[in-house]
């Protein structure tokens, strides 16, 4: 599947620049000038997979949510700590409310921001907006309209099965922990009763 890195390599463009119109991040904020940029038709042939489009749209909203309090894209040193704190709070909320591990580096390469995470984010725009602080309308507008071929359909099904398995395993682990705590409490109560019984016997003697 073709992703942004492949498009940048094929068009000989920096990863920090749009491979279609050659606009950089700073230029993208200038809406008036952006409308006048010319599109290079040959770059449109690369396309992007639906899966990667989902991930990139999700990551874009996530990065905006992390910067809501400072409202800047390029992070300065004095704002970095504030953004990191906001990011950690978002990660905690996603894990607690949606059982999603978001934007955590994986061993080897990449992060936990995969297609399945992105799909679950857009599948519940109301809860996702509540967590990120973005409007529900904004979240819905960034969702990708799906056209999935057979190959990608198999991948999607695989992702869904994987997340279902992980969710079940997580719930099972929580139940096992609760059972262990109950057993420990029961054992503690039994020991306390035995000690009380021994004390009474000693007093009787």
Same domain, 188 and 143: no
Same domain, 2 and 62: no
Q: Are 118 and 57 in contact (CB under 8 A)?
A: yes
**106 Rama class: left (phi>0) / alpha (psi -120 to 50) / beta:** beta
- The total number of structural domains that make up the chain: 3
Which segments of the chain have a pLDDT < 50?
147-148, 151-152, 156
- Domain residue limits at 91: 49-147
Same domain, 119 and 80: yes
> How is residue 31 written in tokens?
């809406």
Same domain, 13 and 59: no
Same domain, 164 and 138: no
Same domain, 58 and 24: no
What was the pLDDT predicted at 99?
92
Q: Sign of torsion, CA 68 71 75 78?
A: negative
For residues 84 and 107, give the distance between their C-alpha atoms in angstroms, rounded to a whole number: 21
How would you class 58 by CB atoms within 10 Å of its CB: exposed for 0-12, middle for 13-18, buried for 19 or more? buried
Same domain, 142 and 170: no
For residues 154 and 148, give the distance between their C-alpha atoms in angstroms, rounded to a whole number: 9
Same domain, 70 and 135: yes
Same domain, 10 and 69: no
Q: Are 66 and 41 in contact (CB under 8 A)?
A: no
Same domain, 187 and 131: no
Residue 17 phi/psi, 5-degree rounding, is -135, 145
Same domain, 141 and 61: yes
- The pTM of this model reads 0.58
What was the pLDDT predicted at 7?
82
Same domain, 82 and 137: yes
């Amino acid at each position: 599947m073709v992703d942004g890195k492949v498009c940048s390599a094929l068009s000989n463009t920096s990863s920090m620049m749009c491979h279609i119109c050659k606009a950089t991040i700073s230029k993208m904020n200038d809406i008036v000038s952006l409308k006048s940029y010319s599109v290079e038709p040959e770059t449109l042939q690369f396309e992007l997979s639906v899966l990667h489009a989902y991930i990139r749209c999700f990551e874009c909203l996530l990065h905006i949510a992390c910067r809501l309090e400072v409202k800047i894209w390029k992070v300065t040193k004095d704002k970095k700590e504030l953004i990191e704190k906001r990011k950690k709070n978002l990660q905690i909320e996603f894990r607690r409310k949606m059982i999603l591990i978001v934007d955590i580096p994986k061993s080897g390469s990449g992060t936990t921001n995969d297609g399945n995470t992105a799909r679950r984010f857009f599948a519940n725009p109301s809860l996702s907006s509540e967590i990120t602080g973005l409007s529900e309308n904004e979240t819905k507008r960034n969702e990708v309209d799906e056209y999935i071929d057979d190959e990608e359909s198999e991948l999607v099904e695989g992702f869904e099965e994987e997340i279902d398995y992980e969710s079940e395993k997580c719930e099972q682990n929580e139940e096992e922990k609760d059972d262990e705590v109950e057993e420990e409490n029961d054992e503690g109560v039994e020991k306390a009763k035995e000690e009380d019984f021994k004390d009474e016997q000693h007093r009787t003697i």
